[in-house]
Amino acid sequence: KNEVEQSPQNLTAQEGEFITINCSYSVGISALHWLQQHPGGGIVSLFMLSSGKKKHGRLIATINIQEKHSSLHITASHPRDSAVYICAVSMEYGNKLVFGAGTILRVKS
């Protein structure tokens, strides 16, 4: 079993829809990261959080430490949100990241 599991693997949405991507982990962590990878391959860090909730524009990330679960929400989705969204955790000891396999999101206009 992978230490970081994401669901769904693939997601197709219509423009304007509310989107949720889930991430569960099984190890002790110091922080959880949400990353975005566009078709060209470059990766951008969206959020780093260790508790509660963070918001940036139309993106919201939440984490429940007790349940070892995080969600990434996109409100009013747009075709430019189409990308791979990756969940990663910083291990409790050390500086390493462990990555989920990613969720491929396609938003249709």
Partner 1 sequence: DGGITQSPKYLFRKEGQNVTLSCEQNLNHDAMYWYRQDPGQGLRLIYYSQIVNDFQKGDIAEGYSVSREKKESFPLTVTSAQKNPTAFYLCASSFLGTRQFFGPGTRLTVL
The residues of the shown chain that bind partner 1, judged by CB under 8 A, are 2, 4, 30, 33, 35, 40-45, 48, 86, 88, 90, 95-102
User: ω before 8 within 30° of 0 (cis)?
Assistant: yes
CA distance 105 to 9: 9
Q: How far is the CB of 43 from partner 1 (least distance, A)?
A: 4
Residue number with CB closer to partner 1 (17 or 60): 60
Residue number with CB closer to partner 1 (17 or 49): 49
- What phi, psi does 103 have (nearest 5°)? -120, 120
Residue number with CB closer to partner 1 (13 or 35): 35
